[in-house]
Chain A
Amino acid sequence: MTRSAAQPLPQASTLEESLRWLRIMLTIRRFDETIDELFAQGKVHGTTHLYIGEEAVATGVIAALQPGDVVTSTHRGHGHNIALGGDINAMMAELLGRETGYCRGFGGSMHIADQSLGNLGANGIVAGGLPIAVGAALGFQLQQQSQVVVAFSGDGALNEGAFHEAANLAAIWKLPVVFVVENNQYGMSGSVKEMFALGHLAERAAGYGIPATMVDGNDIFSVWEAAGQAIETARSGSGPSLIEAVTYRYKGHSKSDANRYRSREEIQQWRQRDPIDHLKEYLIANGADGSSLAQIQREVAQAVADALQFAESSPWPDPSMLEDAVYAKEDGTHV
C-alpha cells in the first residue's frame, strides 16, 4: 500500500504540485507546534486538538477537491482549514481569542469555519458534522449542482449514532459525499482495537451499501489517489464512498491527555513513518533539491511566526459583542 521512495510519482501529480503539498503540510505542523508551545507557556488556555502526524490526510484529500466543493471538519480541524488555504493569521488570532480571529474570538480552536473556502466548520461534538455534510450534499443534489462534500471524522465518530444515520441517508439517496475517516488509532484513550469489533473500520461501510477503501494516511499520494476516485464517483452521481485513512496523532488527544493508554515505543514507531519525511524523500528521489525544501521550511516558519505576531498584537474582543450574533439582523444580514 505504501509506495517506496524509489517509485516514480503518480502520473497526475507534478513536482510543483507536490512541493505545494509539502508547504501545506509543513504549515499545518508548524502551526500546531506553535499552538502546543503557546499552551506550554500558558499563553493559550482551555484545550486544543493537534493535527501533528496526520497532515497527509487533510492535504491529500483537499488537493483532490475542486473550487466550490465543501468539507465539514472536526474538533481536530486546524489541518483541514490550512489545507483549504485558510488564513493562518485569522486562525492564530482565533486561538488567542482575539477580535481579528475567524470567529472574532467567539469560537477558539474547535469552531473555525471559512465558508468562502468551503469549510463549513470544525465541530466540538464528535460526529456532529456528519449529518451536516450529508445535508450539504443533499443541497447540491437537489439544486442540480455538481459539487461534492467531504465529511472528515475521526475513528471514534464511527460509533456515534449520528454517523450511522447519516451514512444510511447518504447511501439511499446516492448523495455526493465522501466520508474520510482519519483513523489515528485512538478516540481519546479508547483504542480502535478495543472500541471496534472490526479488523478495519472501512469494513463498516458495507453495512450501508457504501463502497470503501483503506489507505495509508501517512502517504499523501495514496490519500490523494483514493480521494480523487471517491470524489469523482460522488461528482458523477454514483453516490457516497468512505475512505479510512490510517494515521496516528503524535500528541495527546487534547491538552489534558497524559498518554497513559499507549507506550512511548508505539509513538516512536509511528514517528519513523512520518508523513512529511515521507513526502520529502519522494521529492528528493524525484529531483527536488534539498536546499529548496529547506527554503520552504524557513518560509513556513516565518509565516507562522508572523501569524503569531499578528495575533498577539490584535485587540481583544469587546464584551459588548456578546449578544451580537444570536439571530440575524432585522434586514437579514449577519453581524
Chain B
Amino acid sequence: MAVMTYLEAIRETLRQELRRDNRIIIYGEDVGVRGGVFRVTEGLQAEFGEERVIDSPLAEAAIIGTAIGAAVNGLRPVPEIQFADFIFPAINQIVQEAARIRYRSNGDFGVPLVIRAPFGGGVHGALYHSQSVEAFFAHVPGLKVVIPATPYDAKGLLASAIQDEDPVLYFEHKAAYRSLKGEVPDERYLIPIGKADLKREGKDLSIITYGLMVSYAQRAAETLDKEGISVEILDLRTIRPLDVEAILDTAKKTGRVLVVHEDNLTGGIGGEVSALIAEHALFYLDAPIMRLAGPDVPAMPYSPPLEHAFMVTPDKIAEAARKLAKF
C-alpha cells in the first residue's frame, strides 16, 4: 500500500487497467507526448505506445463520437476531455448517442465508455477553466456520473467505470489532484457505482456532498466537533444514479441535512437530493433542508476576491452547519 495523491491514484489505475485489458485505449488532446495538461497520463504513451495512448486534434465532438463508435465495436475507450469546460461540443454525442444506444437498440448493445474530465475552480482558471458541469449530465438517463472524493475512491471507482458496460462520466476536481493524499492499495479493487459512502458518523446533522467538497466538509466537521456539534458526512460518490437509501438513512438519523456542492445552486444535485428527502423522509426532519452551493452566476470569475466569493470553502460549510444545528 502506497500513499498517493488523487492524481497519482488516477494515473496508476489507468496504468493498471491498460495492462489488464488490451481493449482499453486512451485518447484526447495532449494526452500522449505531453502526458496531459495536469500530467494525469504522463508516461502512459511511453509504456503502451501511440496506438493505445493517442494524441487527438482539438475536436471534442469527434473525440467522444469516435470513442462511442470504438466502444460499440469492441474497444474500451477512456477518452479525456482536457477541461470539463470544453465538453460542450461533445454533448450531442454524449446525450443523443452514448446515453441512448442501449435503449434504442432495446438492449442489444451498449456503450462501454469512460469520459474523464478535470473540473472545478479555486485554481485561478477563470471562466472557461473552472466550471462544474456534472448537473447537465446527471439529468440524463442512460449516463452514469462519478465524482471521487479521495485517492482510494478514485482508484476503485475508475476501475468500476472502466468495467461498466454503460457510459460513465468521471469528473476529477483540479484542486484535488495534488492537495489530496491517501493510502491506495496496490491490487485492483472495485468500488460500486451508485453507492454512497458514509465518510464520517455523527448525530447532530448530516452533510451530503461529493468530490472535493467531502474533504472540505471533513475540515468543517473537525472545527464543529470542537464546538460540540457532531457532523455526519455522506459522500455520494456517484451523482447518477443516486444512492437513495443512503441519503434517506442519514436524513432520518440526524434530522438535519445540509447539501453542499460547488456547482451553482439552481438545478444542481442539491435540488434532487432535497426533493428525495422531502418526498420520503420529511417527517423525520427537525429543520428545513439547507443547501450551500456556488452562486447562480454564469461562470467563475478570475480575480482572487471574486473567485473566493464564488467558492464553497470549509469556513462557509462550517458557518452553514452552525446555523442548521441551531435551528
Contacts and interface: CB of A to CB of B under 8 A. Distances in A.
A125 B83 CA distance: 10
B128 A110 contact: yes
Contacts of B85: 124-125
B172 interface: no
B52 interface: no
B295 A261 contact: no
A133 B32 CA distance: 33
Q: Bin chain B's interface residue count.
A: 35 or more
For B29, B38, B295, B303, the residue with the greatest tally of chain A CB atoms inside 10 Å of its CB is B303
Given A161-B62, A190-B29, A260-B33, A319 B305 contact: yes
A195 B58 CA distance: 9
B30 A322 contact: no
A196 to B, nearest CB: 8
Interface string A224-235: 000000000000
B175 interface: no
A161 B60 CA distance: 8
A45 B124 contact: yes
Contacts of A196: 57
Contacts of A162: 89
Given A190-B29, A319-B305, A107 B57 contact: no
Nearest to A195: B57
Nearest to B38: A256
18 contacts: A45-B124, A46-B302, A105-B301, A105-B303, A105-B306, A111-B127, A124-B128, A160-B59, A161-B59, A187-B58, A188-B29, A195-B55, A258-B34, A260-B35, A316-B303, A317-B303, A319-B306, A319-B309
Contact of B86 (A125, A318, A321): A125
Nearest to A196: B57
Determine the main DSSP class of B at the interface with A.
loop
B305 A316 contact: yes
Contact of B58 (A111, A190, A317, A321): A190
Contacts of B137: none
A107 to B, nearest CB: 6
A47 B129 contact: yes
A176 interface: no
Nearest to B128: A124
Interface of A: 45-47, 97-98, 101, 103-111, 123-127, 156-157, 159-162, 187-190, 194-196, 256-258, 260-261, 316-319, 321-323, 326
A97 B301 CA distance: 9
Contacts of B297: 322-323, 326
Contacts of A105: 301-303, 305-306
Nearest to A93: B303
A276 B33 CA distance: 32
Given A108-B126, A187-B57, A190-B29, 17 more contacts: A46-B123, A106-B303, A111-B127, A123-B128, A124-B128, A127-B58, A159-B57, A160-B59, A187-B58, A189-B30, A189-B32, A190-B55, A256-B38, A260-B34, A261-B33, A322-B295, A323-B296
